[in-house]
Amino acid sequence: MKNIDTLLHARWILPVSEGDPCLENHSIAVHEERIVEILPSSEARQQYKAAVELEYENHSLIPGLINAHTHAAMSLFRGLADDIALMDWLQDHIWPAEARWVNEEFVQAGTELAVAEMLRSGTTCFNDMYFFPDITARVAKNAGIRSCVGLIVIDFPTVWAGNAEEYLDKGIAVHDSYRNDDLVRTSFAPHAPYTVSDEPLEKIRSYAHELDIPITMHVHETAFEIQQAVEQDGRRPLQRLNDLGLVSPALLAVHMTQAETHELDQIAESGSHIVHCPESNLKLASGFCPVAESLSRGINVALGTDGAASNNDLDMISEMRTAALLAKGVAEDPTAVPAETALRMATINGARALGIDDRTGSLEPGKDADIVAIRMDCIETAPVYDPVSQLVYSSGREQVSDVWVAGQHLLKNRVLTGIDEASIRLQADQWRDKIITS
């Protein structure tokens, strides 16, 4: 028998590999952070002797969920300004609150809260965009969650930097600090076409190519944004980005609720990715991303929650369900986004967009052991005919029992193993008390 670190036996395994198989009564062998083999449980018991052997008789094991767009620290603004149009929400509430409260301590506390929520929801990797990315990276690294930390760039000064040049210099320093890290990656994160001018965008294009990292940007989020751009510049934002050379395989275009047919063709031809944030877009009434049309063109569409200030949660299981149902309604086609596609959007598609699909996003030998166990023996998911359908259409994040990142057991029977949950809750309440009395 071969000696390994961990052997997980499950009723169902949903590997999200080629052909989208559903494996019943199979096991995952893990050694030195990686998946060694996935095989029938009867064979696994004969071939492997594990230091830790666990039974999940009523669970589905799935790849760790990948939240392809977050503003993690904004969890401390959850519920602060609800039921408001996007630009009013930003200009009259969020930006003033950020100017008043955001600092290193805020980002640390908000990111710790977000990471705890994400792990308890089955998310093992998140792609962030916020100030103090060095703090976000440190918090994520300490918690053991995988992250892609956005090197934010905006034209105007904030507590993080005074101008675009300083944002870039500080961002590159963060990138250099984590250049060879196993869990922390980086991406350039220019906020949006309406907040970043041409010169820094051209530098970002050049730096991203040189460093071989992605570019995450809010693109075509609202009709107002596009109208304003056309009035000022004569071009829709995506055309401007294309003229600057940013519409490429490096680009993660977040939201894309206002996309014309020729623009989808342009994204497909360029190899750019779309990050769909359905619940945030619905709450802010920003519009509808044409997911079915995008997928039919071969565009890689990933899923994100956006920040908890506009969602108001970081629940990727809920996001999958909303994405599938919304796509059907928009396309007027019940086959538009099947459950299997929604699961791919939340896993391997996100990994592909971030350039880490060789390490995570599916359960396959050689990949890192980013695994989530979800209970399927609940009243809410009984009876189980199709585990994928039950996962997407019936399950809730409270059914996530266990989470591993790179083989490390970070959530064990609903308890975070490396995070003090009581301290996180107390810290969040203390920040609420300060913010609400200001």
> What percentage of the chain reaches a pLDDT higher than 90?
95
| CB neighbour list of residue 210: distance below 8 Å, 6 or more residues apart | none
Q: Domains, the chain, ranges and CATH?
A: 2-63+369-406 (2.30.40.10), 65-354 (3.20.20.140)
Categorize the per-residue pLDDT at 88 as very low, low, confident or very high, splitting at 50, 70 and 90: confident
Q: What tens digit of pLDDT does each residue of 348-359 get?
A: 999 999 999 999
The Cα 215–Cα 272 span in angstroms is: 10
The arithmetic mean of pLDDT across residues 252-273, rounded, is: 98
The arithmetic mean of pLDDT across residues 10-35, rounded, is: 96
**DSSP 8-state assignment for residue 64:** P
What was the pLDDT predicted at 19?
86
**DSSP 8-state assignment for residue 81:** S
Q: What tens digit of pLDDT does each residue of 385-416 get?
A: 999 999 999 999 999 999 999 999 999 999 99
Q: What is the dihedral of CA 158, 161, 162, 165, to 10 degrees?
A: -140
Q: Could you tell me the pTM of the whole model?
A: 0.97
For 6, the 3-state DSSP assignment is strand
Q: What tens digit of pLDDT does each residue of 197-235 get?
A: 999 999 999 999 999 999 999 999 999 999 999 999 999
What was the pLDDT predicted at 438?
63
Judged against a pLDDT cut of 80, whether residue 86 lies above it is answered with no
The arithmetic mean of pLDDT across residues 261-279, rounded, is: 98
